[in-house]
């Protein structure tokens, strides 16, 4: 049951991370930041999103590799799946299969942030 629980909760986390990332990108675009400041803001917010994913993974007591896996799925697979659903609600969060350089950098930053967070020892019993 633990494997199925990890898969289901990981899938839910991946969808939430994909939606949150698109929200972050739209928020930065709406702020009027251009070029360099926009990339820096997105990187910082993506790293924070990676830390939140790692903390959520720990809180749900999922295996340690779940957080980086969720981040990779959220940036690569979930937008493509949401794009395949013919609905205006999912079209806002849809994307294409290819990562832009900014997305790839944000993914790497968030994955490293999640891995570092998971590397910090938890509570001792």
The band of 121, judged by pLDDT with boundaries at 50, 70 and 90, is low
Give pLDDT tens digits for 64-92: 777 777 877 777 777 777 777 887 877 77
> What does the pLDDT look like over 16-56, one tens digit per residue?
888 888 888 888 888 887 777 888 888 888 888 888 888 88
Sign of the dihedral defined by the CA atoms of residues 37, 43, 47, 50, in that order: positive
Contacts of 17 (CB under 8 A, 6+ apart): 49, 53, 70, 71, 74, 78
Domain definitions of the chain by residue range = 2-119
pLDDT on residue 81: 77
Residue tagged 């999912």 (tokens): 90
- 45-54 per-position pLDDT tens digit: 888 888 888 8
**Minimal CA–CA distance to 53: which of 99, 12, 114, 6?**
114
3-class state of residue 120 by DSSP: coil
Residue 125: pLDDT band (50, 70, 90) is very low
CA-wise closest residue to 94 among 111, 77, 70 = 77
CA atoms within 13 A on the CB side of 47: 10
Kindly tell me if the per-residue pLDDT of 98 is higher than 70. Answer: no
């Amino acid at each position: 049951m633990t494997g199925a629980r990890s898969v289901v909760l990981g899938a839910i986390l991946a969808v939430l991370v994909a939606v949150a990332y698109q929200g972050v990108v739209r928020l930065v675009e709406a702020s009027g930041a251009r070029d360099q400041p926009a990339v820096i803001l997105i990187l910082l917010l993506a790293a924070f999103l990676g830390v939140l994913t790692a903390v959520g993974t720990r809180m749900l007591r999922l295996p340690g590799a779940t957080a980086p896996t969720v981040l990779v799925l959220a940036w690569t697979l979930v937008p493509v799946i949401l794009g395949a659903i013919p609905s205006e609600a999912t079209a806002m969060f849809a994307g294409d299969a290819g990562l832009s350089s900014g997305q790839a950098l944000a993914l790497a930053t968030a994955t490293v942030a999640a891995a570092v967070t998971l590397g910090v020892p938890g509570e001792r019993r």
